[in-house]
Amino acid sequence: MSIDLWAALLRFTHVGASLFLLGALAFPLYARAPSLTRRSINALGLTALGAGGAWIGGMALGLATDTPSVEWLRALLFTTEFGRAWLLHFGLTALLAVLVLCGGRGLPVVVVAAAQTASLALFGHSVVLDGWQGGVLMAAHAAHVLGAGVWMGGALSLLVVLGKADLGDEVVRRFSRVGYVAVAAVASGGALNLRLVVDAWLPGVGNTYGALMTAKVALAATIFALAAFNRLFASKPERRKLLLGTIVVEHLLFLGVVLLAALVSAQAPHG
Ligand code: HEM
């Protein structure tokens, strides 16, 4: 397998675990119901940490022009934009993993998880612009991934809750309300991101970036349609089994979208 593909798979694993973790930690705060088990939360924290370390470490080694040394690493970490972004993002990922492994929950841990997810905006095409456009692009990327995390991790937690009949109906309503905000952040953040990076509201298909982004947007549109179907039809109490099934399908599509996002991030938008 090529190094680029390894990097994309590690990025996918790190980003996916981080997003599910954020959503699962936030869920009990607004849904007033339990989320994933402690073991699952710990596994997500450790996966985000391990895959994140391997992904960013691999990127750093890819930048080495000579045999890596301690001086080279020190210079990379403390004197380059990449190094400072790496330190911040990895520091937040490590702090989050320690907090969840120690059983930390509640608003302070969600704030750390949100900062860790938002700092993904420091990597990839969201750093290509300067000035006010660069600031808007970073904010759009952060809103996009924060919305995706709250949505994905919340939907995963809802799956667990739906297994407990006495908790179901009210929790579905609370999740739906937060879901509107999360979906709006995903859609507006993603669209603005695309507009600023490729100067168009829809991706072209003339290069690998455009083709992968077109597939990602098509998959995302299917998830939006499924979410609307759930809200308007499948969320009725008597259709609980149907809702369970559509949420499982939604998660398979989420994984596809996050994988495509990881592949897109390694491609040149104007190549
Ligand atoms: C279910 C819906 C979606 C999910 C879960 C999702 C998730 C993600 C994730 C996880 C990233 C990569 C974050 C990173 O590695 O830092 C990303 C990047 C991005 N997404 Fe989405 N996305 C969705 C829908 C959309 C839509 C509808 C658009 C466009 C209209 C869009 C446009 C983008 C763009 C432009 C990027 C930045 C890619 C780059 O240049 O690095 N996304 N998305």
**Residue 148 CB–ligand 1 contact under 6 Å:** yes
Residue range of the domain that includes 18: 3-265
Does the residue 227 lie in any domain?
A: yes
In the chain, the N- to C-terminal Cα span, in Å, equals 23
Does the residue 270 lie in any domain?
A: no
Mean pLDDT over 249-263 rounds to 97
**What six digits make up the tokens of 263?**
């592949």
Does the residue 104 lie in any domain?
A: yes
- Per-residue model confidence (pLDDT) at position 3: 64
Predicted TM-score (pTM) of this structure: 0.94
Ligand 1 atom closest to residue 120's alpha carbon, by position in its atom list: 16
Does the residue 271 lie in any domain?
A: no
User: How many alpha carbons fall within 13 Å on the CB side of residue 182?
Assistant: 26
Does the residue 52 lie in any domain?
A: yes
pLDDT surpasses 80 at 164 = no
Does the residue 59 lie in any domain?
A: yes
Instruction: State the distance from the centre of ligand 1 to the C-alpha of 135, rounded, in angstroms.
Output: 17
User: How many alpha carbons fall within 13 Å on the CB side of residue 142?
Assistant: 15
Does the residue 36 lie in any domain?
A: yes
Does the residue 114 lie in any domain?
A: yes
H-type alpha helices, the chain: 3-31, 38-63, 70-79, 81-101, 107-118, 131-162, 168-198, 208-229, 240-265
Which one has a higher pLDDT value, 260 or 160? 260
Q: Could you give the CA distance from residue 147 to residue 162 in angstroms, rounded to a whole number?
A: 22
Mutate to test the pocket of ligand 1, among 122, 129, 144 (most ligand atoms within 8 A of CB): 144
Q: Could you give the CA distance from residue 117 to residue 102 in angstroms, rounded to a whole number?
A: 20
pLDDT surpasses 80 at 168 = no
pLDDT surpasses 70 at 167 = no
- Per-residue model confidence (pLDDT) at position 130: 87
What are the pLDDT digits (tens) for 175-200? 999 999 999 999 999 999 999 999 99
Instruction: Please give the tally of structural domains in the chain.
Output: 1
